[in-house]
Amino acid sequence: MSKHDFPNDLKTAQTELHRAWAEYRTLCRALPWSVEPAPGWPGPKHPHTEEVAPGREDSPGYTPEQAAREADLWARIREPSIQVSMHPHWATLEHGPQLVDARMALRGHLI
């Protein structure tokens, strides 16, 4: 049993935040490295070993669909972030280590 008794709406918001961030990270890994089309660059050559580090390929930029999906997911992150950070529950705790401990415990909490 947890030493923290979080309100259900706070736990629900935190769970939604976890899910939204997971989806966002997955999307970002699949997106081009640049939002707008941008030229790549060659990797630099190490002065002592002559080994060439990886560079970047040209980026085609995001398609309109990719940009819309990224914006939608970012909005899904923003709302529960505000709900979690501004929840009245935090005002019931003493500022300092107790509050930090509770916030960290909630971050690890999934319903």
Per-residue pLDDT of the chain (111 residues; tens, 9 = 90+): 357 889 999 999 999 999 999 999 999 999 999 999 999 999 998 999 989 889 999 999 999 999 999 999 999 999 999 999 999 999 999 999 989 999 999 988 765
Q: Are 59 and 32 in contact (CB under 8 A)?
A: yes
Q: How far apart are CA 18 and CA 111, in angstroms?
A: 11
Q: State residue 63's pLDDT score.
A: 98
Which sequence spans correspond to the domains of the chain? 8-107
Q: How far apart are CA 33 and CA 80, in angstroms?
A: 27
Q: State residue 3's pLDDT score.
A: 75
User: Phi/psi of residue 16, each to 5°?
Assistant: -65, -40
DSSP 87: -
Q: State residue 1's pLDDT score.
A: 39
Output the pTM of the full model.
Answer: 0.79
